[in-house]
Every structure is written in structure tokens, then in C-alpha cells.
Amino acid sequence: MRGRFFRVATAISFATAILLPLVVLVPSRRTLFVGIYELVLAGIAIGTLVGSFRAFQPEAWMRSPFERAREKPGRPQAIAELDRIDRLVVLGAANEFDLHYRLRPLLRQIAGERLYGRYGLELDRDPDRARALLGEGLWELVRPEREVGRRSGPGLPAADLAEHVALLEQL
């Protein structure tokens, strides 16, 4: 309590020590300086008031934001990731543009990781071996130089995507 009082008194004294010379040296701007001084005092008062709330529930202020975030009921990260992938699949099935720019990067990442992990092969550096392992359908989708078709063109049908995912799981 004494420490808080000392900090508040020091802050007010400091603000007053700045105000007085300004008012004496530039009397034409006195109302401006007094207005700023009042704002500073209001800020000190609000800071003191907020600081006093810590006395009511100190443990709430001592926990880190990460600890508080874990306590909040919410959706686990895995469910959020599944929702994101579900949106990518729906968008990829809707049109060619979303297939190329949204779903294709995910499929390329998975294919690249599976090929590298199992065969030590990089998707972009050894396209002939990657093509042989992935098959024509999946290779056409994940190949590095694939160009996007018409923006409004059809996306990837769910049956084809299911075949591609099954092939990736077998790698």
C-alpha cells in the first residue's frame, strides 16, 4: 500500500514539476498545458484504479496468458485444423481456382513429405520417380509446373480426391 502511494505521489510530483515551468515560461499556452496536466492526472488515477483491482484477485494477474488460454473452454487445435482442411476440400471441389490455390498446396505438402520420408525423394527435384510413385492422376494435380485452368472450371470430384488420399496413405 505504501509503495503504491509513493509511486502515485512521485508521478503527480513529476507532472507538476513539468507543468509549473511551462506555465511560467509560456503563459500564452497556459490553458493547453493545464488541459494536458489534467489528462495526465486522469491517466494516473485510472492506472491507480486498475492497479488496485489486483488486490481483489491477485492470482488472476499472476498467471501468464498461455495458462489463462488453456483454462478457457474452446475447440482443440486439432478440430480447428480439421475444419480448415474440410473447407479446403469443399472449395477445391467447387472450382478449379480454389483447387489450384487452396487444396493443391496441401496435397503437394503431404505428397512431398511422404515421398521424402519414405523414399528420400523430393517432389520437385526428381519428377520422374515422383510421377511413377504417385500415379498419373495425382501427379497431374501436384506437379510443379501445373497451371491453373479456368477460374470457373470444375474442381476435383470427391471420388477422385478420395483415390488421391488413399494413394498418399499407401506411400
Q: How far is CA 88 from the centre of its chain?
A: 18
| Region 61-80 average pLDDT | 67
Tell me which residue has cell 498467471.
63
pLDDT of residue 71: 63
SS3 54: helix
Single-letter amino acid, residue 43? G
Residue 147 pLDDT grade (very low, low, confident, very high; cuts 50, 70, 90)? confident
pTM: 0.54
Half-sphere exposure (CA, 13 Å, Cβ side) for 58? 1
pLDDT of residue 50: 82
Residue 38 pLDDT grade (very low, low, confident, very high; cuts 50, 70, 90)? very high
Query: Is 98 in contact with 92 (CB distance < 8 Å)?
Result: yes
- Asked whether the predicted pLDDT for residue 14 surpasses 80, the reply is yes
Tell me which residue has cell 513429405.
113
**Which three three-digit cell numbers place residue 169?**
496413405
The full length of the chain comes to 171
Average pLDDT, the chain: 85
Region of 131 (left: φ > 0; alpha: ψ -120 to 50; beta: rest) is alpha
- Asked whether the predicted pLDDT for residue 37 surpasses 80, the reply is yes
Cα–Cα distances in Å, from 115 out to 6, 71, 101, 136, 170?
Answer: 66, 39, 21, 15, 11
- Asked whether the predicted pLDDT for residue 69 surpasses 70, the reply is no
Query: Is 155 in contact with 104 (CB distance < 8 Å)?
Result: no
